[in-house]
Every structure is written in structure tokens, then in C-alpha cells.
Amino acid sequence: MTRRAFLGIDCGTQSTKALLVDAETDEVLALGRADHELIEGPDGTREQDPDAWIAATITAVREALAEAAGTAVMVAGVGVSSQQHGLVCLDEADRPLRPAKLWNDTTSAPQCIAMTERLGGREEVLRLTGNLLLPGYTAPKVAWLREREPATYRASRRFCLPHDYLDLWLTGTYSTEAGDASGTAYFDVRERRYSEPVLVALDESRTWEEALPPVIPSRSVLGGLRAEAADALGLSRDTPVSAGGGDNMCAAIGVGAIEPGPVVVSLGTSGTAFAYRPSPAVDPRGEAAAFCDSTGGWLPLICTLNCTGATDWIGGLLGLDHAAFEAALVESGHGARGLCFLPYLDGERTPDLPGAAGAFWGLRATHRPADMARAVAEGVTFGLRYGIEALRRAGVEPRQITLVGGGARSDAWAQLCADALGLPVARAPVVEAAALGAALQARWVVDDRAPSRPSAAAGDVFLPTPSDALADAAARQDALRRLAISGAL
């Protein structure tokens, strides 16, 4: 008997995943993965080769299909999720002209300042788009390209996002959808259209209607697989491909955050927190991003640049594998025996401090490696707590946390999230939330079947256990953050 399945492709910063999901039962039938290389520079450069994403997609999909070879599977649709904000520059033949600048590239900080001034200040920028101009977003990357690489800028016929580029390769159709487009900072999230004043500020002489992908409904079929793409992946030609979305938008679909409910916290390379809203949700300070989601609603979101990247860093320095890191968190306990860590290793986005650096505070000869590991995990988690306060300003009222991402596998970190955030934490039974969400979006548009919110399994709910040691750690973290914001650190 042939099983109908939907394929979700998630192109992240570290790797591309391909997930096959049973159309009827939501059972994960197979998972393929291929890693990416990152181009890094001490000036904040973070880039990747877009064609490496294509190669990784082919490898991951073929691996998933091979894993499912023992079961007769018919792929009924494909959905694509990808890292947000990246700038892909295409020539006349839609070939990348240079490596894509990624979401965690901070080289465009000067262009953010200049564009904000040109548009009339932060309040006017918020009025125009609902979001501030931050280095992670796409608009300042375009300004950086025009200023720093004018020849490449002039040769660029089109500018798009990583998810748009993958969809273009899959279907031959150039388009985007509101969820991912809302992370560009040249998109009006209230009206779900490009912001003409911002585009004029970028370049008043360019025909942006030709350069940017048309915005199509998120819940729609983009097109069918091109013959070349289908053959490369090992799929049937003309298999429908949905509009897809950014990784956070697809993760929201994967955990059922398509209606008001818990705040979703993702412990990945970056740390994110988001929640569905039926109407635009704008933080008056602009620290929470006022994004659209990829279903037709909105997804106010905060992002911290340093999450598992910071914990992996300290684990690598101390020679701790995942099990040893877990044990270290338990051994040290609340407050890390007075040690505090500011996790701004790659700068920071919430708050907007692209030039900031990480710092230990209170380090003494009596501290042990376990305390250092615990301090890093607490620093990351208190950073997420700071971001959740921005979500509250945008109208989100968190009563429970749904935890996803690679870091969520740690029981000790899940308990730390409950303790630091002061909210119950339910760990979602989801393997790869973004890839799953991409597959479920494809099923939604092909089969007209909306996903439901999965329930946490027994043992995967963590209740907060406040302590004086943790309260003291929070106060130290707040003080350290204030020093960083003031420029004194």
C-alpha cells in the first residue's frame, strides 16, 4: 500500500533538513540532513554560498527518500522553510553573484543608522513598516551592497531571500510570501506590501517591481517542480510546491501556533520567542519584530543572536559533550555560584547591540567549569526573558511556554527556562519544527487540512521553581545588560 506523504525542506544556518511526513497520521517517515559551511569574518561577516543550499537540499531529500525506501511513499507536495533575512543577489540568468549575507551578519550596522536618519528617525520607520532597521534585516544589507560593492549592486537584477531562491530553483517561479517578506524591513507588515518610502530611500532609480519577488498568499500553491529539480531530487515532475516561509513562521505551523496560545521559545543557533496574533502587533520600542506569519495572521517575534551557538562555544572550550554539559548545569545550580555571563559573542539583536561582545562577570578562582557552563546557559535564557518583555509590550500575554529547538532536548535547560521565565514550560514532541511546519503548510494548501497543536508528552512539562539564587542572578544579568546598552562595557 502506497502512503501519501508531504516533504518539508528547512534550510537553516548550519544545515538543510528534509522531513517526510505521513499525510494522514502526521508520522515522521524519514529525515535527511546535509551540513553547510559558513563564511565568517572578524568584522561581523556571516555569509553562505546559495548554490550550496541547492546541493544540500538534493542530498537531504535523497537521504530522506532512501531512508523511507522500505515503505512505498508518494510525495503529494513540498514546502520550503529557510533562515530569514538573508540577501541573495541574482544576475540576468538568476545565478547568484556573490555569497548571501545572512541573518547574523552585522556588517550593515552603519547603513541602519544612515537609513533611519534618511527616513526621519526610529518612530517614522516603525510607522512605515512596523519594524526598525536592524543589521540582521535585508534592507540594510542592500544598502551595504550598494555602498561597498557598487559593481555587484549594478549587476544584480533581482534581490530575494534564501527561501525565495530555493523556491525559484524548485519551480522556476519568482515570488515570496508575507511571513518571510516581513523580515526584510522594506515590507509594511500592517498592509502586507512593500514599503515604497523605504525602497525609495534604498535607491530611487531602481525599478523595485522587477527586482523584488511578487508577494503571493502564504497558503497557496506556488507551482509544480521543474523537470530539472524533480530529477535531481528523485521526485515526480510537477509535484506541487507551497508558498513556504521563513523558519520561524514554519516552526509556528509545526507546533500548531496558528491561533492565540502559548508563546513558543526556540533554543537554536539563535534564540527566538514568538506567538500568533490575529492582528498586527507592534512593540512601541521596536525590540519585538512585528512580523506576519505564513498562514495569514501575524507573528510578533524576538530574536537573540546567541543561543546554542554560545552554549556550544563554552562546551567546546571546556571539552563537554551534550551529556557532560547537561550534568554541568545540574552540578552548578541556580545562579552559577555568583558567576554571570553576557552572551553577546556575535553582537546582539535584542537589544540592538551589533558591536557588543560577550563577558564573564564575577569570575573567581573558586569557580569550576560547571559554573562557567551554567553561567552561559543562564545568560542566554535571561536574554530570552528580556525579549519576552518586548512581546508583552506588543500585546502578547504569555501564560505558558512551548519549547522547541535543539537546546530543548536538555531537561536541565528546559527546567532553567521555566525557572528564569517564571512560566510553565511544555516541550513540544516535534523533531524538526520548521521542516515539519513546511510539510504541514504544503498539506494545508494541497489537501485543505489545517494542522493541530501537538500535546506535550508526560514528563515533558516543567514547572517554575523560583529561588533567591536565581533572583540574584537575574539582577546581575540585568545590571550587566544595562552596562552594555550604555556603552560602558
Q: Which residues are catalytic?
A: 247
H or E element, residue 132: none
Set of cell numbers at residue 15: 544545515
Q: What is the DSSP letter of 277?
A: B
Nearest residue to 81 (alpha-carbon basis) of 240, 194, 295, 250 = 250
Compute the distance between CA of residue 489 and CA of residue 483 in angstroms, rounded to an integer: 5
Question: 322: exposed, middle or buried (C-beta count within 10 Å: 0-12, 13-18, 19+)?
Answer: middle
- Residues composing the chain: 489
H or E element, residue 395: none
- C-alpha atoms less than 13 angstroms from C-alpha of 12 in its C-beta half-sphere: 26
Compute the distance between CA of residue 350 and CA of residue 287 in angstroms, rounded to an integer: 6
Q: Secondary structure of 396-448 in the HEC alphabet?
A: CCCCCEEEECHHHHCHHHHHHHHHHHCCCEEECCCCCHHHHHHHHHHHHHHHC
Largest CA distance in the chain: 66
The distance of Cα 348 from the centroid of its chain, to the nearest Å, equals 14
